[in-house]
Chain A
Amino acid sequence: MKQSEFLNLVMPFKDKLFRLSKRLLTSVEEAEDATQEVLLKLWKGRKNLSTYKSIEAFAMTMTKNYCLDKLKSKQASNLKLVHSNYKDEQTSLQKQVELNDSLNWVNKIVQKLPEQQRMILQLRDVEQYDFDEIAKVMDMNPTAIRVALSRARKTVREELIKKHNYGVS
């Protein structure tokens, strides 16, 4: 497999890998490293790529596992990642300036979710995967995913309502 072929294969979902790892690892640099690592692993194993049913799902699973490993080692070394480089540069959001603050809140709430729920929320609501694809990536059955997703969404909503009503009621 040539380099250009590989890039064509990988380009469509590399951003998804990056976003998933950022959701899990919080920092942009860590997420970039994780994405690079996963892509390099794919490149090294390029001979076997054709044997996988869905390379995207495979890559997502690799990213998930890699990030969880990273988090484990981070926790072991007592290193806490502080979220400091979150930026919102979306033009569609700039129209709704008053929402920016809420967006930060949403982000904070999402970061507080358990890793599993955070991943599922990312895969579903951001990347819009269907349940079967998420099931493949997460190695869980669809029902469990549905439950986790429902919990995640409810938590986010309730937390947001709490923030909105803070000091009001």
Chain B
Amino acid sequence: MELVRVEQLLEKYLEATTTVAEEKELQNYFSGKEVAPHLEEYQAMFAYFSGAKDEQFTKQVPLKTRNNFIKWASVAAVLIFSFGMYWQYQATPDYTQEEIDEAKMVLAMLSNNFNKGTQSIGHLNTFSDGVSQINHIDHFEQQTNKLLRNE
């Protein structure tokens, strides 16, 4: 590139009126070996710019997608657990018809026998009747005592 053109471009460059393409031209010129000595300071500038462009981001970015899975898994776990508890308390022992009948029969027998027992206790009443009749003997004795005193 001619020196005159370079100088023109540099002037525009400092006023920031160059296009990207023109700046590339300058970049090329200054990365070459034949740079006019009075433009040395630009060489450092452009070398710095092109050097700065080669820096790269090498770190790995952890893009997490598992987060969602864990969230929903925990929700599911809670649901399963609470359903389990629910069923556990729901399950009452089931009796078959036979078992119920048998239990009814046993209870009926029990009440029958119990009634028999109370009937036999009823005989105690006749005993107390007898006792009251013996009380009449006391009465008889009192009368005889009275008669004896009168004599």
Q: Do A and B come from one complex?
A: yes
Interface residues of A (CB under 8 A from B): 3, 6-7, 14-15, 17-19, 22-23, 32, 35-36, 39-40, 43, 88, 90, 92-93, 96, 99, 102-103, 105-107, 110, 122, 124-128, 130, 146-147, 149-150, 153-154, 156-157, 160-161, 164
- Cβ contacts under 8 Å, B52 to chain A: 19, 23, 122, 126
- Complex CA gap A67/B130 in Å reads 118
Measured CB to CB, the nearest residue on chain A to B59 is A32
Q: Decide if the interface of chain B is mainly helix, strand, loop or mixed.
A: helix
Measured CB to CB, the nearest residue on chain B to A150 is B16
- Cβ contacts under 8 Å, B17 to chain A: 146
Q: Which of A6, A19, A43, A93 contacts B47 (CB 8 A)?
A: A93
Taking each of B48, B51, B59, which has the highest tally of chain A beta carbons within 10 Å of its own beta carbon?
Answer: B48
Q: Is A92 touching B49 in the complex (CB atoms < 8 A)? A: no
CB distance from A144 to the nearest CB of B (A): 11
Q: Which of B23, B41, B56, B61 contacts A125 (CB 8 A)?
A: B23
- Cβ contacts under 8 Å, A156 to chain B: 45
Measured CB to CB, the nearest residue on chain B to A152 is B16
Measured CB to CB, the nearest residue on chain A to B61 is A39
Digit string of B41-72 for contact with A (CB within 8 Å is 1, else 0)?
A: 11111011111111111010111010000000
Q: Does B104 contact A (CB under 8 A)?
A: no
Number of CB contacts from chain A to chain B under 8 A:
95
Digit string of B62-99 for contact with A (CB within 8 Å is 1, else 0)?
A: 11010000000000000000000000000000000000
- Cβ contacts under 8 Å, B42 to chain A: 157
Q: Does B15 contact A (CB under 8 A)?
A: yes
- Cβ contacts under 8 Å, B50 to chain A: 90, 92
Q: Is B56 touching A157 in the complex (CB atoms < 8 A)? A: no
- Cβ contacts under 8 Å, A157 to chain B: 14, 41-42, 45
CB distance from B2 to the nearest CB of A (A): 21
Q: Is A99 touching B44 in the complex (CB atoms < 8 A)? A: yes
**What are 9 A-B pairs with beta-carbon distances under 8 A?**
A7-B63, A15-B56, A32-B59, A122-B52, A126-B53, A128-B23, A146-B17, A150-B14, A160-B41
Q: Is B65 touching A3 in the complex (CB atoms < 8 A)? A: yes
Given A92-B31, A150-B14, A153-B13, the answer on whether A99 and B55 have CB atoms closer than 8 Å is no
- Cβ contacts under 8 Å, A150 to chain B: 14-16
CB distance from B151 to the nearest CB of A (A): 132
